[in-house]
Chain A
């Protein structure tokens, strides 16, 4: 893992993607996240919206884009549940911000690094989710460590497969 200076981003080509890729990938992630658990007996051992948020934030190396995209994805996810709208939004905003910030300083072309970042940010996102419920809202929300660990592992595994596929759609400036 090479740690680079802040100006390293300028030295690298900024990756960009066609609008259709943005739209289709984000929409597919949201729809599949809601649809796939229906087949998996209710088990949700992955977080596709978080994976997509991390990918685009890392690739674009832009914390602001990661923040806004994470907020949008999270709010959309919350809207499909019976929970308060905004809890996942905050958690994924932070994850997107950190992904973009990390992308500026670290070479994230290595797929193992990207999987590791996905693993850590998945755990962090889950922790923020529970923290907001308990501290900010004062409501009961149990921390299920094993489940969050499985979810982080599942997300990392999907990221290792999905990221190279998405890399093929990028446009080099």
Chain B
């Protein structure tokens, strides 16, 4: 699953169209658009709305194990970089001074920038001052750091991504919806490539994690009359056998045939379990 958060509809519209996302008709506090494997939410502008939306979007997901979160939207930045897309590698919440560093573990060819998140739109002097003589671009937005802070309650820093395009140089001039829409269309190809990289990473993760058969664990646990601690040992042994190609099932079958299993009580079960563990882990 990839969860995309955008503050405003014009920022999200090109993605909604390109990814064929359908409006979720259920009543939710934040508008949601979705398709297989992707949910896009509109948080509304500002830090509090963005953090609330992050909590809502991630909190309702049943499994977070391979979920990635992408914040896509506009930011103020250097005048000569207008329209460019950046990947944020450092975030600063200007009110608290808290800093966040997403892990950039995907080999994306997108230039990077620092992002400062403010409660109000940054003025022109602030944006220019931060970028004057700076080696790296400094962008200003109203959501990224708060999204990151909220998301880190759910996800690791390698699963939180910030893609920001420069919409203006700061100041009082408010962008029209049409301008914002056209600016957010420009980097669409790069954003879609980035989403593909995330999907590839998700596939890799799925390949590398062996499945845990909870049902088999329960059955075996009752076979041995396991205590809580012994069930934990059983779980470790099963996992190790699966990884190292040891035949746990064969050992159990052999003991079923001789009538040692199912064990009549916990004490006898432990004896049989110890015997199997010893056979499997110390037999060369």
Is B one of A's binding partners? no
